[in-house]
Amino acid sequence: MEKKLVLVHIDDRPYQVEAGQTIMQAADKLGYHIPRLCYHPKISIEGACRVCIVEVEGMKNFVASCAFPIADGMKIRTHTKELRTARRDIVELILDNHPEDCHTCERDGICELQRLAYAMGLRHRHFEGEKKDYEKDLSSTAVIRDPNKCILCGRCVRICSEVQKVNALGHAYRGFKTVVMPAYDMPFKDSVCTTCGQCINVCPTAAFVEKNYTQELFEKLQDKKFVKIAQIAPSVRAAIGEAFGFPPGRAMHLETVACLKRLGFDYVFDTQLTADLTIMEEASEFLERLGGKGKLPMITSCSSAWMKYMEQFCPDLIENISTCKSPMSMMGALLKSYFAQKIKKNPTDILSVAVMCCTAKKYEAARPELEIDSLRAVDIVVTTREIAWMIKSAGIDFVNIKGEQFDEPLGISSGAGAIFGATGGVMEAAIRTAYELYTGETLMDIELNDLRGLSGIKEGKINIDGKEIRVAVAHGLGNASELLSIIRKDPDRFHFIEIMGCPGGCIGGGGQPYAGSNSIPLDEECLRKRAQALYDIDRGKTIRRSHENPDVQKIYKEFLGRPLGALSHKYLHTHYKPKEPRGIIPEEIKAR
């Protein structure tokens, strides 16, 4: 249906625009980027910050362009002298209550508030406002909350409730004393927070940041006692360049390996290899379940935030969850067993570090049930952001460095391992292998386009030896929650389900580089480009199926035996149990 067009004037220029959108939306398309703060296109409109005000002729007051519908005949002005003064004052008033510690702040140089203040032309301050004085919440293994830096834009609250549907955060108290916090002001670690880190991604300041392990890592990298080993997740390579000024969508694993070597790592291995291993186990497990041993649909278990969500919000599905550990934890387990034996080292002398796109992996690494002989499989998890900072801090030239290859024997991966980072990728990788394990024939048409892209819930069918296998994929915990309510009503609808906790999958993880000055957090175009970087890696490989990975075959031959065998179970599988506090799934999802 054609949309109705209306005639408006913006800054005295006439434009025909579609009716039914806000002033801001219309202006965006015409090249007017009205300054904004609390607005984000993925979440509901709050209209709280008033930064995006514009003048509409005939209106007594300035209106918030994010919330005001455009109408025929409107005469809008976006940067008159009065507007510029008002906007500058609004931002100045926000700054008046904000700690003046930019130089020592983690987000110095990549802070939206800083950028906004600069763009509004704030060159001196008129007032000294009252400062907030709250304790930081350091309780979580993954996400830190610092209410002193919070400007109450509410983006974290909305992403947590509307996109992730976790509802860990809310506004409590009122007026100047308003604080964004979990229910009852309980420590973050005791709340329903899944540690997905999306609050960090959308926070314009440093009110939410990841728990930082860079100092500890710098120290341990100097410790002669350890054999220092890093693993790099697929999605890190697809985004790390952004932290160094490269446009999104460039795969930079070789540069990252070279930098990690210079930071002091003895070995740099590829999490994509254990992604292949995950597929060997998961595809085998799926076929076993398909043969009647275990519950269907089987649901993937690689995403740490999704696992915590599942244990709190839908423990009724525990039996449906694959028992496979995540690729990160599989790598950690191998480092402290297989690889330690290979290099004749005591597992206690191995420093196992994971470079992840994810904040929740910090939580996962600390799960006691993932320990190998009472040792943590992964000692330290750092995010893409943290490692980028470490590289900069150590003065290593990421931009011009000559790339280096991953180390042997845990460095070779298939294309299937690479696409693990994008929503739909685990399913695609699993099907490539399950098909061959089941039929004995090679699946030729391996690019499963139904499962790619950023639709919230994707469905697909594949014919395996005359049997129709129905699969579904969801990314972001809100979409996951919707998909699960479909399953509850119709348990036989799907055989196999992939869930990733973050929008876009791991590529949109809570540990990825902050949006740069010309971008917004969780920008879909950026997510698409990151995903494309992984699909390009896949396409560029000769080996595109996990079971063809020679290193994986070698690990089974030398160490594990066979998929789902006794040693595989010891090192590569885990279990889940219900956790408190029980999560509450909002009514609108249940009703669907």
Which residues would be at the binding site for other proteins (CB under 8 A)? 161, 167-174, 181-185, 191-192, 581-582, 584-587, 590
Please tell me which residue in 210, 282, 386, 498 is annotated as part of the active site. 282
Q: Which is nearer to other proteins, 445 or 587 (CB)?
A: 587
Q: Which two tokens stand for residue 29?
A: 């398309």
Hey, is 491 helix, strand or coil? Answer: coil
CB burial of residue 225 (10 Å; 0-12, 13-18, 19+) = exposed
- With tokens 């109450």, the residue in question is 152
Q: Which is nearer to other proteins, 165 or 547 (CB)?
A: 165
Instruction: Provide, rounded to whole angstroms, the least separation between the CB of residue 258 and other proteins.
Output: 44
Strand (E) positions, 246-356? 267-270, 298-299, 350-356
| Reduced DSSP (H G I as helix, E B as strand, rest coil) percent helix, strand, coil of the chain, to 5 | 40, 15, 45
Hey, is 248 helix, strand or coil? Answer: coil
Gap between the Cα atoms of 203 and 324, Å rounded: 33
Amino acid identity for residue 426 in this structure: V
Please tell me which residue in 235, 301, 304, 322 is annotated as part of the active site. 322
The two beta strands, 350-356 and 380-383, are parallel
**Residue 228 annotated to the active site:** no
Instruction: Provide, rounded to whole angstroms, the least separation between the CB of residue 482 and other proteins.
Output: 16
The two beta strands, 350-356 and 75-77, are unpaired
**Residue 322 annotated to the active site:** yes
Instruction: Provide, rounded to whole angstroms, the least separation between the CB of residue 147 and other proteins.
Output: 14
**Residue 288 annotated to the active site:** no
Q: Which is nearer to other proteins, 191 or 284 (CB)?
A: 191
Instruction: Provide, rounded to whole angstroms, the least separation between the CB of residue 24 and other proteins.
Output: 27
The two beta strands, 13-18 and 53-56, are unpaired
Nearest by Cα to 504 from 536, 526, 535: 526
Q: Which is nearer to other proteins, 171 or 557 (CB)?
A: 171
Gap between the Cα atoms of 482 and 276, Å rounded: 29
Please tell me which residue in 361, 458, 529, 541 is annotated as part of the active site. 361
Instruction: Provide, rounded to whole angstroms, the least separation between the CB of residue 586 and other proteins.
Output: 7
Please tell me which residue in 302, 324, 502, 526 is annotated as part of the active site. 302
**Residue 364 annotated to the active site:** yes
DSSP type of residue 161 = I
Q: Which two tokens stand for residue 149?
A: 């830096």
Instruction: Provide, rounded to whole angstroms, the least separation between the CB of residue 590 and other proteins.
Output: 7
Q: Which is nearer to other proteins, 312 or 568 (CB)?
A: 312
Q: Which is nearer to other proteins, 298 or 310 (CB)?
A: 310
Q: Which is nearer to other proteins, 157 or 305 (CB)?
A: 157
Gap between the Cα atoms of 356 and 385, Å rounded: 9
Query: Could you give the residue ranges of the DSSP H alpha helices within 162-211?
Result: 198-202
Q: Which is nearer to other proteins, 168 or 358 (CB)?
A: 168
**Residue 506 annotated to the active site:** yes
CB neighbourhood size of 170 (10 A): 14
Instruction: Provide, rounded to whole angstroms, the least separation between the CB of residue 589 and other proteins.
Output: 10
Instruction: Provide, rounded to whole angstroms, the least separation between the CB of residue 170 and other proteins.
Output: 3
Instruction: Provide, rounded to whole angstroms, the least separation between the CB of residue 144 and other proteins.
Output: 18
**Residue 369 annotated to the active site:** yes
Q: Which is nearer to other proteins, 84 or 132 (CB)?
A: 132
The two beta strands, 227-232 and 208-210, are unpaired
Quote the radius of gyration of the chain (alpha carbons, Å). Answer: 25
DSSP type of residue 401 = P
Gap between the Cα atoms of 344 and 364, Å rounded: 27
Instruction: Provide, rounded to whole angstroms, the least separation between the CB of residue 181 and other proteins.
Output: 8
Gap between the Cα atoms of 462 and 455, Å rounded: 19
Please tell me which residue in 46, 112, 242, 364 is annotated as part of the active site. 364
Amino acid identity for residue 503 in this structure: P
Please tell me which residue in 255, 281, 285, 436 is annotated as part of the active site. 285
Residue 64 region by backbone torsions, left for phi larger than 0, else alpha for psi between -120 and 50, else beta: beta
Gap between the Cα atoms of 431 and 463, Å rounded: 10
Please tell me which residue in 112, 506, 526, 568 is annotated as part of the active site. 506
**Residue 282 annotated to the active site:** yes
Q: Which is nearer to other proteins, 169 or 263 (CB)?
A: 169
CB neighbourhood size of 101 (10 A): 11
Hey, is 6 helix, strand or coil? Answer: strand
**Residue 66 annotated to the active site:** no
CB neighbourhood size of 556 (10 A): 17
Catalytically annotated residues: 282, 285, 302, 322, 361, 364, 369, 506
